[in-house]
Amino acid sequence: MVVSLAGCIDTLDPGEHGVMRYFGEVRGAAPLALLPPIADRDGNVYVLYGGRELDTALAFVGRAGGGWTSGCSLHKGDSRGAHFWIGRAQDRAWYWSGDALVEVVGATGSCKAVLDKDPASNTDLLFLGVVPSVREAPSRTTTVAMFQSPEDRLPYQGVIDLGLGRYSEIHRFEPRDGVEGVTVLGTGGDGDRGVMLVSYLQGGSLVVEGRFLDAEGATTAVAPISGGDPLALGQDAVLGQLEVDDSGLVAGLLIDGSMVLFDENGGSIGSFALDMTPVGVHRDAGGGLWLVGESGGPVVARLGADGRPGGSTSWSASTDADAALSGDVTVLDDRTDPRRYTTWHDPRSAIGSYPFLSAAPPLVYAEDTTAWLFAGPSYSVGGEPRTAVALAPVGISYP
């Protein structure tokens, strides 16, 4: 059974959606600056408004017992926007936005910055890269990150205790001699293993590397990366996340349309002749990697053992989910009591041109099910569009 916050429904077929829950309005017209939602184990769901071009973030929380909260808007810095949800625990979730790592509590919708200041020096801490994985143990809940203060020449990486707001097992960036301008291009994770794509200058030459990190924040392998346009490899160059398959191959789509492919031995950045306009790289439930995009509709191309994308095929789960939106759709408005149902005519995917088509991959909600966002009626405030948005569980599969 799949638990929706409006009740219990049968397992969803690919493209089939459960009850839509109307949670609020956001600025803009669809497709909107929203990230795929996440759910904690208590059944609370979390939605993040923000994107790489916006120096702001706004979190909405749908409580397991019904009702929504909003107003959590912690963000840090004006040179980069919201990245993604990094993970969840029993009753809370964490997002990374700009240079800030933020905890959101499911029961209240309240939020707080994690390690906004260095506990020892009280200087600002900037999170350059955060691995999208939260590790829970009886003693603590942690993630792995690369961070520095404005006074640091080189960053540190290590374990972030998300409960206590402390760092431990820290390691100074290596190499140290003649290194400057350390930049995180993108991050990813696979269970307890994290991965970062970084660049830096050493002796005036640009170095690009893929770095593998364990759960204790130590670098276990450094993969030299060749190719690519050095001028295009700036901060947050990876769209969405780096994805890792079961063999250890890492793949990511870059902002210039090229791809980075590497394993622990090395890799490269290059372009492929594609029969689609790519949007991002996803990992399916079986550990396979897919390049997703558009070609007259939503399409996917499986990445081979060497990371090269094959020919694209229609993404039927996305097409079916889009078709299910035609006509009148019943939406539950449980923002306040009493709950009531309303009708939206021809809603559409709030993220991307079609359901599931996003740089940041859809996150697991239940077996073969994700949570997705749908845009409804729009109106104008001072000449600026505002759009109603709802969340629903949706069945998902890859060909």
307-317 exposure pattern, b = at least 16 Cβ within 10 A, e = fewer: bebeebeebeb
Half-sphere exposure of 351 (CA within 13 A, CB side): 28
Q: How many structural domains are present in the chain?
A: 1
- Distance from C-alpha of 39 to C-alpha of 161, rounded to nearest angstrom: 21
DSSP string, 226-251: EES-GGG--TT-BSS-BEE-TTS-EE
Residue 89 contacts residue 97 (beta carbons within 8 Å): no
| Neighbour-count burial of 344, counting CB atoms closer than 10 A to its CB (0-12 exposed, 13-18 middle, 19+ buried) | buried
Quick check: is 275 in a domain?
A: yes
Quick check: is 208 in a domain?
A: yes
Q: What is the pLDDT of residue 194?
A: 96
SS3 272: coil
Measured between alpha carbons, how far is residue 355 from residues 47, 174, 362 in Å? 16, 41, 9
Residue 361 contacts residue 291 (beta carbons within 8 Å): no
Quick check: is 223 in a domain?
A: yes
Quick check: is 347 in a domain?
A: no
Q: Which has the closest alpha carbon to 380: 34, 29, 71?
A: 29
Quick check: is 90 in a domain?
A: no
Rg (C-alpha) for the chain, rounded Å, is 21
- Rounded mean pLDDT for each run of 10 residues along the chain, 399 residues in total: 43 94 95 96 96 93 93 92 96 97 96 94 96 93 96 95 95 94 95 93 94 96 92 89 96 96 97 95 95 98 96 97 97 93 97 96 91 96 93 96
Quick check: is 124 in a domain?
A: yes
Quick check: is 40 in a domain?
A: no
Bond from prior residue into 175 cis (ω within 30 degrees of 0): yes
Q: Which residues pair with 87 in a beta bridge?
A: 94
Domain ranges, residue 266: 115-309
Quick check: is 153 in a domain?
A: yes
